[in-house]
Amino acid sequence: MKKGLLIVFSGPSGVGKGTVLKEVEKDEELKIVYSVSMTTRQPREGEIEGVNYFFVTPQEFQEAVANGEMLEYARYAGNFYGTPRSFVEQEREKGNNVLLEIEVQGAKQVMEKAKDCVSIFITPPSLEELERRIRGRQTETEEKIAERIATAHRELQETDRYDHVICNDDLQKAVEEVKAVIRAEMEKE
């Protein structure tokens, strides 16, 4: 059986990654499985353990890193985030396409380790619109919003590293573009 793809999906906080993915995942033919990350950040209202993230203490996170359980990890806005390795490998072996929704430092680690990965970066139409979306979500304090906007400036300078850069201006258009990239990769030898 053909091994599944490893898809790296990045973009600044609030650009709409979650919203785009929810639509993309509805297409069962794409055989996408979402890799649930481990994080030390506090759950937001409505977030579910094991679905959105595995919420852990800093100590638990460090133990997982020390035991070599992480494919990649990074510090972002004061918290640690990382991808458990075993799930990714098991699912790819089953022929499923594993999608990692991760920030740029972690993405860089994955691109170095897994040369065959497919990378997609989602950009906002403008930084003003990005800020509107983060605020509209009403999940972050002022301090965290400022930190995420500052990080977005840096992240937007790293898009050259990615195979595909897609602007999430019109949601449906962005969804179709992401699906087209995955379909094309699936058809490759």
Site map 127..156 versus ligand 5GP, x via CB under 6 A: ------------------------------
Q: Which is nearer to ligand 5GP, 47 or 186 (CB)?
A: 47
Site map 113..152 versus ligand ADP, x via CB under 6 A: --------------------x--xx---------------
Site map 152..171 versus ligand ADP, x via CB under 6 A: ----------------x--x
Residue located via tokens 């918290």: 79
Beta-strand runs (E) in the chain: 6-10, 32-34, 37-39, 53-55, 70-76, 79-84, 97-101, 118-123, 164-167
Can you read off the two tokens belonging to residue 134? 């983060």
In the range 64-103, which residues lie near ligand 5GP by CB under 6 A? 72-74, 76, 81-83, 101-103
The least CB distance from residue 67 to ligand 5GP, in Å, is: 16
Can residue 34 be called a binding residue for ligand 5GP (CB under 6 A)? no
